[in-house]
């Protein structure tokens, strides 16, 4: 009867990437006991895992951070670039807001410490397979996750070494940076000393080049790809 149920309702296919066989076994047993969730692959090495995941393209990957070869964050970044429809849940011993932000920024859909409750992990596997994010135990739509990431960007920024090639011109990059700050076209025009129509033309060009539909998507794209700098912090401290 169980086999018939799975055939009628396709299983969420999951891969577990962790260098501890005992941990993999425990997670595998928990997930395989659930209806319509199936662990189809495992690996304990980052390089091996990336190659395997690109070939089999599971719906969900449970990814440890501390892996030999390539660490889990490196694997996630490369995997999401090559296979954007694969959803990654980071599982690690380190659980703080900055690490969660950096994991979501490079493409993860959720981030948990390894002592996560089994039921929460199961629910998260199903949620990310349906296209949701789970951040701080809260299920979010992509739009909500984008807003969360924009807010955290102003606190943590991006690492300088993460900058990558951009197809935009220098002026378009300059405008994209202030879009990330949340400025309107009028505010951008005032800051850069150009007309609002010129700003509008550049924004249209940015969206066209990146094949995006709105400014929020452009801001998130810039953050994910390391194209923007952390805005300068304002301070209320008196100068001396």
Note the pLDDT tens digit of each residue in 212-230: 888 888 888 888 777 776 5
* Cα(12)–Cα(38) distance, integer angstroms: 6
Give the residue carrying structure tokens 């990059």. Answer: 173
Residues in the chain: 240
Please tell me the distance from the alpha carbon of residue 122 to that of residue 148, in angstroms, as a whole number.
23
Within 8 A by CB and 6+ apart from 169, the residues are: none
Q: Which domains does the chain have, with CATH numbers?
A: 2-151 (3.40.50.2300), 158-224 (1.10.10.10)
d(CA 108, CA 64): 12
Helix axes 185-192, 196-210, angle to 10 degrees: 110
Task: Name the more confident of 117 and 162.
Answer: 117
User: pLDDT band for position 6 (50/70/90)?
Assistant: very low
The pLDDT of 97-102, averaged and rounded, is 88
> Which residues have a Cβ under 8 Å from the Cβ of 196 and sit 6 or more positions away?
185, 186, 189
Strands of the chain, DSSP E: 12-17, 37-43, 60-64, 87-92, 110-113, 133-135, 138-140
What is the spatial distance between Cα 188 and Cα 177, in angstroms, rounded to a whole number? 10
Helical segments of 115-157, H only: 118-129, 142-156
Q: Given pLDDT bands bounded at 50, 70 and 90, which one contains residue 160?
A: low
Mean pLDDT of all residues in the chain? 86
DSSP symbol at 10: P
pLDDT, tens digit, for every residue of 189-217?
999 999 999 999 999 999 988 888 888 88
């Amino acid at each position: 009867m169980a086999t018939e149920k799975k055939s009628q309702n396709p299983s969420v296919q999951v891969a577990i990437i962790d260098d501890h066989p005992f941990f993999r076994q425990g997670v595998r047993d928990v997930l395989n006991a659930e209806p319509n969730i199936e662990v189809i692959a495992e690996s304990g090495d980052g390089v091996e895992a990336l190659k395997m995941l690109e070939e089999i393209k599971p719906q969900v990957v449970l990814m440890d951070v501390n892996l030999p070869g390539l660490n889990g964050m490196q694997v996630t970044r490369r995997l999401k670039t090559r296979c954007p429809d694969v959803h990654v849940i980071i599982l690690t011993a380190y659980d703080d807001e900055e690490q969660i932000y950096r994991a979501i920024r490079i493409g993860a859909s959720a981030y948990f410490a390894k002592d996560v409750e089994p039921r929460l992990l199961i629910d998260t596997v199903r949620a990310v397979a349906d296209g949701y994010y789970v951040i701080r135990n809260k299920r979010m739509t992509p739009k909500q996750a984008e807003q969360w990431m924009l807010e955290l960007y102003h606190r943590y920024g991006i690492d300088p070494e993460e900058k990558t090639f951009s197809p935009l011109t220098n002026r378009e990059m300059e405008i994209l940076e202030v879009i990330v700050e949340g400025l309107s076209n009028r505010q951008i025009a005032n800051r850069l000393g150009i007309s609002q129509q010129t700003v509008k033309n550049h924004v249209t060009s940015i969206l066209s080049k990146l094949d995006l539909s709105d400014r929020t998507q452009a801001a998130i794209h810039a953050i994910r790809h390391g194209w923007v700098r952390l805005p300068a912090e304002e301070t209320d401290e008196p100068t001396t």
